[in-house]
């Protein structure tokens, strides 16, 4: 079974992803990270969102983040280690490194 999910990231960018699984429950678990995203920043309600991916230095884990281009808020998601789906973290304020940048 396949499920196609389309979402508008910002006025200029739409993404489309296809999730596959043996049944509806598995497909929904895989697609849940996009289905749970309401298309706006959880910090300022802006719809000016982009996607970016980073990899941790220590263990090489990949995290993809919805990033607000207006306030810098971000919401990360990653893949469960058993590869059965994705987890979605809460919105966080823009990270400011020591020294103000």
Q: Is residue 34 part of a domain?
A: yes
Q: What percent of the chain has pLDDT over 70?
A: 94
Q: Is residue 95 part of a domain?
A: no
The pLDDT value recorded for residue 45 is 95
Decide if pLDDT at 14 tops 70.
yes
Domain range enclosing 11: 2-88
Question: In sequence order, what are the residues at sequence separation of 6 or more whose Cβ sits closer than 8 angstroms to the Cβ of residue 7?
Answer: 14, 15, 34, 37, 39
The pLDDT value recorded for residue 97 is 54
Q: Is residue 100 part of a domain?
A: no
The 10 Å Cβ neighbour count of residue 88 is: 16
Q: Is residue 96 part of a domain?
A: no
Cα 65 from Cα 47, distance rounded (Å): 14
Q: Is residue 64 part of a domain?
A: yes
Q: What is the pTM of this model?
A: 0.76
When divided into structural domains, the chain yields a total of 1
Q: Is residue 59 part of a domain?
A: yes
Per-residue pLDDT tens digits for 50-91: 999 988 888 888 889 999 999 999 999 888 878 777 888 999
Band (pLDDT 50/70/90 cuts) for residue 94 is confident
Q: Is residue 93 part of a domain?
A: no
Phi, psi of 76, rounded to the nearest 5 degrees: -90, 150
């Amino acid at each position: 079974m396949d499920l196609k999910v389309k979402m508008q990231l910002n006025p200029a960018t739409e993404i489309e992803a296809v999730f596959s699984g043996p049944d509806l429950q598995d497909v929904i678990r895989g697609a849940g990270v996009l289905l749970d995203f309401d298309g706006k920043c959880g910090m300022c309600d802006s719809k000016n969102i982009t996607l970016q991916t980073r990899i941790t230095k220590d263990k090489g884990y990949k995290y993809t983040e919805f990033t607000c281009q207006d306030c810098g808020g971000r919401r990360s998601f990653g893949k469960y280690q058993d590869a059965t789906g994705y987890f979605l973290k809460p919105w966080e304020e823009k990270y400011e490194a020591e020294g103000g940048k």
